[in-house]
Amino acid sequence: MTPFWIALQFLTTLPTPRINTYGDKEMGQSVLFYPLAGLIIGLILGVFSLLLAQYSIDNIYGELLNAGLLLALWVALTGALHIDGLADCADAWMGGLGDKEKTLSILKDPTSGPIALTVVILLLLLKWLCLSILLSATSSAYFLLIPALSRCGLLLFFLTLPYVREKGIAATMAKTLPRQSAFVIIALTSSMMILFYPAGILSFIALGLLFWLFHQSLLQRLQGFTGDTLGAWVECSELILLLCAVFSLR
């Protein structure tokens, strides 16, 4: 269970058993549990949305309030980890001016500029509106799978791109990730999304296009990925999946 607890500790703020020692092998194996960590986040969001439906005000303001509370819980469950990555990438891609070293330098800067703030505000606003529409349509099932599907994409980045820096936690994960198992998890998750997820085909196409855009941008700018770029992927892919869910409503 050690790799699972590592994944849960790394991606969420949920309480986990204390792990005093673990090796590089467990670090690599923990990446395989990223979709499961996302599924746990989705289950919590799904249960919370059902509770909100029982005690909410029955008008548009109640739906907007519920969406805001659900989004706040979503952010709290991840400790804003991925939002931080999105903010750093927004500043770095604009301020880096196409230069790899300058981009990496800005990614290390803990402060956020107006570009980062604008991107984060727009993303949270769009998520909030999508959640309000889905809640009004009683489509809580989407919340169960969106975090898991988004984090499944992280495995694909580990498999198809090198980690930019030679040292670090992500570098260890990339070197020791069981590649065959990762490909199996991606294939199974993709199949389940197409077969059982509402708007599965639309979501599969949209995620595939987004992944290609991310992949090409990372190759051209950094020749690899960083932790911040993975955080940006999670936030952007979750938004794309929410938009697909909204547009698929009848």
Do the beta carbons of residue 146 and residue 239 sit within 8 Å? no
pLDDT in tens, 146-194: 999 999 999 999 999 999 987 778 888 888 899 999 999 999 888 888 8
Helices (H), the chain: 2-11, 24-30, 34-55, 60-78, 81-95, 100-108, 114-136, 141-160, 169-176, 179-196, 200-221, 227-247
Q: 194 is written with which tokens?
A: 């197409």
Please, what's the largest Cα pairwise distance for the chain?
Answer: 54
Average pLDDT, the chain: 89
Digit-coded pLDDT (tens) for 66-108: 899 999 999 999 999 999 999 999 999 998 888 899 999 898 8
Reported pTM? 0.92
3-state SS, residue 33:
helix
Which residues have C-beta within 8 Å of that of residue 78, sequence separation ≥ 6?
11, 12, 13, 41
How confident is residue 36, by pLDDT bands cut at 50, 70 and 90? Answer: very high
